[in-house]
Every structure is written in C-alpha cells, then in structure tokens.
Amino acid sequence: MKLPAALLALCLIGFVALSARAQQLVADLSNHLIAITTGFTGTEVVLFGATDGAGDVAVVVTGPRTPITVRRKERTAGIWINRRSVTFPQAPSFYVVATSRPLQQTVSPPQLERHQIGLDHLRLEPEAEVSPERLAEFREALIRNKQRDGLYGTSTGAVTFLGDRLFRTNIYFPANVPTGLYTINVLLIRDNEVVSAQTTPLVVSKIGFSADVFEFARGQPIAYGVLAVAGAVAAGWLAAAAFRRV
C-alpha cells in the first residue's frame, strides 16, 4: 500500500513545483481520506510539496478538538481513588509535528506560540480557573497520556527535501486514531519567521461493518449492551460445550 502512495507523490510533485512558482508554498496529500475498516492497524499518508526557494518546513497535524478530563488518584484509607481533576474543553484528540530541522534553530519563540508549533506551545486551556502550578501538572499529564497512546508527538528531520524546493514527509496514523476532520498546517520558515502557510483537510472515518457497529452502539447503547452480554454468554456456552465433547 505504501508504494502506490509514493508513486502518486512523485507524479504529482512536478505539478506542485510548477504551482509554487507563483506561490511561496504549495502542498498536498497522497490521500485525503483514511477509511477505518475491520482489522485496521494504522496507516501512513504522504504529504508532499514545493517552495519558491530555500527555507525550512514544519507540518502540524491537529485532530478534532474534544473535552478531555485528566484525573489524579490519591491514596485514601489504603484505597486509590480520584481526588483531583482538570478538564480541557478544547484539547486536540491528535497532535503531531514534523519538521525539517529542530524548531529551536528555525523558529522564533513568538512564532512558535502564535502557530502552536510543538508540544510546549500547544494551547490547552482549562475549563475552570486553576493555579499555574496545578495547570502545568495536569497539562503535562495530558500530554504524557496522549504520547503513551501514540496520539501526540514531534519528529525532527521527518520533513526531507529533494534539492532546495521539493519536500515530503510521511504522517503515521495509529490503529487507535480518532475519527473526524483533521487539519494539516504546512508552514514555510525563513529567518526564524513563518512567511507562508497552507492548510489541508484530512478526514478519518469508519466505514463498513465497524462503522455500523459504532453507530448502533452510539445510537442504541442499551440494546448494544444487552446484545454484547448475550454474545459473551453464548460464546462462553459454546466454548464450554466444546471442551465437554473433548
């Protein structure tokens, strides 16, 4: 599956290079739809493009924003229970940055903050006011949890250049990637400043049987629960019957 995507990128990159003559930055994806079917184990999408001259490129991939609550457990009377929590109402479900060179060497701090480039500059505002110390603690926990799940990350050197103008990078989406509309911001950087940017959409969607099951579970949760329990009981009964025959 990777070879056709690479060939497609090579075929289209010539057109992108021609378009870049009139623009500072042009970029596109090998595929604008990731279809999640039964047995989906993750996939890669090729992003390719061209600039009108030398410069650095940063790619910021942001998934749908959703409320995320981070809880901290504390031991009380010998039992670990959730005692404190912070909710981030607009946290990206997926956030990955790929760059041609280290950010500290290419982009000024104000530009990093403005364009939210890098995990240290990702805006994560709490739902309720909390102390700076507590906010930093729970913000770090959210990022750590997402990194553990493979949904947040930064890759230096992942954007590679073919000469001074043509570039490409492979964006990996794991098996647990959330569905929804993604935005991919491609930034051209010169003299520590972002001089041009382009936003490209990407859709991650369930299709086929897995989509039907997902929609049924969301629309009819009680019925889905009953069927799930019945299925588990039936599977257990069949397994027991098979062992009895042996």
Q: Say yes or no to pLDDT of 40 above 80.
A: yes
Give the residue among 200, 119, 205, 111 at the shortest CA–CA distance from 155: 119
Looking at the structure, do residues 132 and 245 belong to the same domain, yes or no?
A: no
Looking at the structure, do residues 215 and 234 belong to the same domain, yes or no?
A: yes
Distance, CA of 11 to CA of 6 (rounded, Å): 9
CB distance 9 to 17 below 8 Å: no
Helices (H), the chain: 2-20, 103-106, 109-115, 132-148, 209-219, 221-245
Q: Say yes or no to pLDDT of 3 above 60.
A: no
Least confident of 44-53, 118-127, 187-196, 228-237: 228-237
Number of domains present in the structure of the chain: 2
pLDDT band at 2 (very low <50, low <70, confident <90, very high): very low
Looking at the structure, do residues 164 and 228 belong to the same domain, yes or no?
A: no
Looking at the structure, do residues 156 and 238 belong to the same domain, yes or no?
A: no
Distance, CA of 180 to CA of 65 (rounded, Å): 9
**Average pLDDT score over residue span 185-203:** 94
Q: Say yes or no to pLDDT of 66 above 90.
A: yes
How many residues are there in the chain? 246
Identify which has the larger pLDDT, 7 or 97.
Answer: 97
Domain that holds residue 215: 208-246
- pLDDT reported for residue 222: 63
The pLDDT tens digits of the residues spanning 69-97 come to 998 876 665 666 667 889 999 999 999 99
Looking at the structure, do residues 111 and 51 belong to the same domain, yes or no?
A: yes
Tokens at 5, concatenated = 């995507």
Q: Say yes or no to pLDDT of 102 above 70.
A: yes
Amino acid identity of residue 86, one-letter, is: V
Looking at the structure, do residues 8 and 25 belong to the same domain, yes or no?
A: yes
CB atoms within 10 A of CB 167: 26
33-36 and 56-62 beta bridge pairing: unpaired
Looking at the structure, do residues 27 and 127 belong to the same domain, yes or no?
A: yes
